[in-house]
Amino acid sequence: MPTASSSKAARHRQLGLTDFEFELIVELLEREPNDVELAMLSVMWSEHCAYKHSKKLLRRLPTAGPHVLMGPGENAGVVDVGGGLAVAFKVESHNHPSAVEPFQGAATGVGGILRDVFAVGARPIAVLDSLRFGEPADSERSRYLLDRAVAGIGHYGNSIGVPTVGGELYFEASYEQNCLVNAMCVGLAPHEQLMRSAAHGPGNTLVLLGALTGRDGIGGASVLASAELGEGDEAKRPSVQIGDPFAEKKLLECCLELLERELLVCLQDLGAAGLTSSASEMASKGGVGLDLDVALVPLREAGMAPFEVMISESQERMLCVVEPALVAEVIAVCERWETLATPIGSVTDSGRLRVLDRGRAVGDLPVEVLVDDCPLYDLEPLPDDVPLYGASVVGGGGGGELARALGGPAEALLALLSSPNLASRRPVYEQYDPIVQSRTVRRPDQADAAVLALPDGSAIAVSIDGNGRRVACDPRRGAAEAVYECAANLACVGAEPLGLTNCLNFGNPEKPRVARQLIEAVEGLAEACETLGVPVVGGNVSLYNEAPSGPIFPTPVVGMVGRLPDAARAGRLGFAREGDAIALVGEFEPSLAGSELAKLAGRPPAGPLPVVKASAVRDALMAVRDGIRSGALQNAHDIAEGGVAVAIAECCIAGGLGATVELPQAIEIFGEAPGRAFVVSGPREQLGGFQIIGTVGGAELEIAGQLKLPVSSLAQAREGGLGEFL
């Protein structure tokens, strides 16, 4: 029997397959694969497509819930929002391409996630992004990546007419060589227009929609996301896809009309691994085979080899199955939208993906070998008794010691507000259009979550969150905090969570330290989702975010969608009225572990984090949500990065009002406890069940016994922190 010592051995290693994997392929096929088949197998068995180091872990996440219409396995998750409407949403990474070519990497990340959403029949109505870069003050490279990635996101979203309504942006040295660009899209669809991706009906026609196929992206996302980036990454620049948002706009409208007219059997996005992944996954889900002729695929570049056509990641393309009698009507609709539509094959009952070139077979593989037979690996983590990080973050002086290192509490607060991680994101979001489509009720800086109106007067709220520094301190509790904070953001506008998507950004899972981080983080996500009763409806895993200098901080990013009954009562961030009482909601133990104050003082992330009281979190979320919905609360803001002092300062800045506050001595004013506690304001008689700590009014923020600063100084510090880098 042929083995990895055969003629294909060197080739399979170049394509990212191990000797063991190649030998398994030979055993399954009972022969060596030819060059076309080997290329197809290499992308389908890559980490990006096969999830071979994470699939077993992901089974731990809860996926069922009363509102779930489509869960993991489809192009996007879908939840019911009532009134016959559904919301589709998903988050995905484009980290490695963005590290190589940030403008196109980020732009095509937006384009790809939009296609995932309209592939299930939903019109994209919002984009959010989660970004991580190295320290901008220290690194010209990080400033360049920041500038070009933000420009790429704005270019694609603004051009296609989908608002960018929220996101997050953080800077840490660990992301210097491996930036993170995670994009989330939210779409809206009537129930009857929802579409799955399973191919069926032998004899039906396979039709390729959209742009011409070129060499851009060959071996792109699927290969780049399955290996560490090192020296010489400029050579990988040709692997990054090139996006055309205007072509995608026509493709979007065309696909939605085809679905509305019920002309399609199924629809699938062409993303990583191109035709190979879309065709094989459609066939696998439907339990059928496909015959596909590469000679029929419209090309942008002459002379492309069959393997290039099959693994090209050219953008703005979709694959659909059409009944033969409807093909002419489908093509007519596409012509009206100036979108190319080309029959390239047919559905069979063979269970095989056959690649033809002018009718001659150049590849013939069982669908199950492509999709199902890639080996799944058990991670080998560090033993539990080996600490991931040190256990001490500050000395006995706690937050006071750290604040004194920065000049005192007042100086520490100003330094936090002007730091890149907490400063106003205005220089970023002003490059995005947050209000196109006229659904946006709460835009960036107005509330903790974006709010989008629905036709019946209700609304959905969306948020995306994560904190790699906290997860580095304690992977399980830090990952759980990401879920709690996303839910807290929704509660602050009055929304109840319906479902969750995630993007797990980690280093090399074959290394014991990273393996332990990944295992613990997934467990933390699962526990928090179970605590809140929020199902995971989809997501993405991005591994091998690692350079010779080391891995990124473990960064699970969580995107959440919720519903609120009255868009007009959506909560706001800022204090609203002179004389309102200020209160704390929730039980929390603020921690300086992994805090922004500790970072400013030069302390590394170290744990553990405090234990979360699940019942207290649920109670606090419900209290804030109900208070916003009833109108009892004039504002709500969760206490996260920078602690309670920063949270109160942000409420003052957003509302243009001062505050006089008396905090209990036991509270570390810069300690952090994401997702567990809130600053709220309202009439004193409405806040009887909460811990009242002060009053809104005046032009200064005074935290008695600790600091006193004009609101204008707070605003000036916050507004000036990021502008110099963009």
The catalytic site residues sit at 48, 94
254: left (phi over 0), alpha (psi -120 to 50) or beta: alpha
Q: Whole-angstrom Cα distance, residue 709 to residue 703?
A: 9
Q: Whole-angstrom Cα distance, residue 45 to residue 43?
A: 5
Q: Cα 242 from chain centroid?
A: 21
Count the Cβ atoms, other than its own, within 10 Å of residue 48: 27
* Contact predicate 163/432, CB 8 Å: yes
Q: Whole-angstrom Cα distance, residue 559 to residue 501?
A: 5
157 φ/ψ angles, rounded to the nearest 5 degrees: -65, -45
Q: Using CA of residue 413, residue 415, residue 419, residue 425, what is the dihedral sign?
A: positive
Pick from 592, 561, 339: which is nearest to 461 by CA? Answer: 561
What tokens does 449 get? 């979550």
What tokens does 411 get? 């100086």
| Residues paired with residue 462 on neighbouring β-strands, in sequence order | 450, 561
Secondary structure (DSSP) of 306-328: HHHHHH---SSEEEEEE-GGGHH
Cα separations (Å) of 565 from 189, 246, 457, 562, 629? 18, 35, 8, 10, 8
Pick from 183, 32, 20, 192: which is nearest to 97 by CA? Answer: 183
Tokens 């394509």 belong to residue:
15
Q: Work out whether strand 317-322 and strand 205-210 pair parallel, antiparallel, or are unpaired.
A: antiparallel
Q: Whole-angstrom Cα distance, residue 485 to residue 612?
A: 12
Q: Using CA of residue 309, residue 315, residue 316, residue 319, what is the dihedral sign?
A: positive
Q: Whole-angstrom Cα distance, residue 424 to residue 246?
A: 31
Tokens 């009363």 belong to residue:
66
- E strand intervals along 443-506: 450-453, 459-465, 496-505
Q: Which amino acid is at 257?
A: E
**Could you tell me which residues come within 8 angstroms of residue 602 by beta carbon, excluding any fewer than 6 positions away?**
none
Q: Whole-angstrom Cα distance, residue 66 to residue 512?
A: 38
Q: Whole-angstrom Cα distance, residue 605 to residue 708?
A: 29
Q: Which amino acid is at 358?
A: R
